Structure 1
Amino acid sequence: MNFLNAQWKNLALFNYEVNREVLEKYVPAGTEIDIWNGKCYVSLVGFLFKETKVLGLKVPFHVDFEEVNLRFYVKRFENGEWKRGVVFIKEIVPKKAITFIANTWYQEHYETLKMKHEIIENKNTNTFMYQWKNDKNWNTIQIETKNILSEIEVNSEAEFITEHYFGYTKIDEDSTFEYEVTHPRWEQFEVLNHQIDIDFQNTYGSDFAFLQNLKPTSVFLAKGSKIGVKNKRKLQITPVLEEMY
């Protein structure tokens, strides 16, 4: 049985090219930073959880909610192939129980804040907005798109950003949690405009305050799908010791 079943809907992805040294201390043991066309990315992602079930059960008042996360991309070589995954710097949700379960069970980095979203559907365009409140200030990400879906092209930047099927969490320098995320290949809406109004320092700390003055390299809106989270396991990485002479 999957640990989690849900629908991830209307994923707004703001992608920043960064110096990989910024991320090195966050890389879980047994993985390495995943690069696309020589570029190292972090992504700010806002989306909706819908029809959420934990171990097959719906938790009252925790079925539909927003999430905004900051993440980067890693890969792990195992059994002759590369497994491509994500690492979360922080995941913001409006439900304390979600934060407790994720931080306790997966040792993730969830934070509970007041959140809201809005979806405006017009004849030819859609607008998706996600907001979260830090102190007394609302942070906002917003995307306007055409309302026609298209495939995400193979070997494209959008495919690199959206097609990762594992999550990795750094426990300590020698151990890592791995879990698998299953979903079909996503489709996307063409982005027309976007808006970002975020206090990066207050939300993500000094390591990522530089994003305040950095423009996204790309912005995507993925329609999303049903997802499942399963096969959690702890990876114990044995350091390679050099022989002493």
Structure 2
Amino acid sequence: MATTFLTAEWRNLIFANYALDRQLLEPLTPYGTELDEFDGVCYGSLVGFYFQRVKMFGRLSVPFHREFEEFNLRFYVRRKTQTGWKRGVVFVKELVPKLAITLVANTLYGEPYATCPMRHTWNVEEQTQHIAYEWKVGSDWNHIRVSADRTGHALVPESEEAFITEHYWGYTRRGETRTSEYEVVHPHWTIYPVNTYDVLCNVEKLYGAAFVPFFDQPPHSVFLADGSAVAIKSGAAIR
């Protein structure tokens, strides 16, 4: 029986989605999984969002670690099981402003977390919401920002937004023939159309030179999701 080791709320998730080359991602794909595509495209997403009400094991709340920003780069995989396909995400790197979060994630779960100064702004006008996340790389502030409608719409089945948001498993490479699996449980999210966006990210320093050509191009799509309560549950060790 799966154990819930973290509950939280994820709020105001910005997704900037880029088409990436299979040859770039295949060496990063964990054992037992394969790249997942949407209309023949392997996507990588830059995602900024806010953690709230963080609790460990559903009850333990750590002072000063209940709310914080996160920014990550992730791509999409799937794993074939006896009951069908499990669709999941793999993180290239996850940035948070809390060193303790990084230490626990790296040491216990092998997740590629790093710590840096971060901040966010949420401003709401009559018909528009302005959401921004910033993180510091060296001495420079990077950012992902959107201006989006305040009126959202339900997630459309089989849409690109559904593909991006409905990968409910996480996979972490723990070696050449070992992978950790965990489940992320949340309801469907409301999607808010983005009117304008701006992404400034030092891709080479964060992810390496091989990623730069793909992120020098405009994103294929950008959207905002409202988020929800989430529960992260232990899965299997794949060997």
TM-score (norm 1): 0.94
The percent of aligned pairs where both chains have the same amino acid is: 44
Q: Please name the residue that 1:215 is paired with.
A: 218
Residues in 2 aligned to 1:53 and 1:190: alpha-carbon distance in whole angstroms: 31
Q: Is the 2:46–2:71 Cα contact (8 Å) retained in structure 1?
A: yes
Equivalent pairs, count? 236
The TM-score, its normalising length taken from structure 2, stands at 0.97
Q: 1:129 aligns with which of 115, 129, 132?
A: 132
Q: 2:211 is paired with a residue of what secondary structure?
A: helix
Q: In the alignment, which of 192, 197, 200 is matched to residue 195 of structure 2?
A: 192
Q: Which amino acid aligns with 1:73?
A: Y
- Work out the CA distance in 2 between the residues paired with 1:169 and 1:140: 26
* Counterpart position of 2:30: 28
Deviation at 1:190, TM superposition (A): 1.2
CA contact (8 A) 1:200 1:211 kept: no
Q: Partners in 2 of 1:127 and 1:22 — Cα distance?
A: 33
1:199·1:212 contact (CA, 8 Å) conserved in 2?
A: no
Residue 84 (structure 1) aligned with residue 101 (structure 2):
no
Root mean square deviation, CA, Å: 0.9
1:62 to 39, 46, 65: 65
2:15·2:223 contact (CA, 8 Å) conserved in 1? Answer: yes
- Map 1:96-175; keep pairs closer than 5 Å: 96-175=99-178
Change (3 A) 1:15 1:212: closer
Q: 1:242 maps to which residue? A: none
Is contact 1:118–1:128 with CA below 8 Å preserved after alignment? yes
**Runs of 4+, deviation exceeding 3 Å:** none
User: Unmatched 5+ residue regions in structure 2?
Assistant: none
How far apart, CA to CA, are the structure 1 residues paired with 2:194 and 2:215?
Answer: 21
Residue 79 of structure 1, CA deviation: 1.4
Letter of the 1:49 counterpart? F
| Pairwise CA distance, 1:206 | 1.8
Instruction: Quote how far apart the aligned CAs of 1:204 are.
Output: 1.7
Cα deviations by residue, 1:56-79 (Å, 9 ceiling, x for unpaired):
211100000000000000000111
Rounded Cα–Cα distance in structure 2 between residues aligned with 1:185 and 1:199 = 31
SS in structure 2 at match of 1:30: coil
1:23-80 deviation digits (Å, cap 9, x = unpaired): 0110000000001111110000000000001122111000000000000000001113
Q: Name the SS for the 1:23 alignment partner.
A: helix
* Structure 1: segments with no counterpart, 5+ residues: 237-245
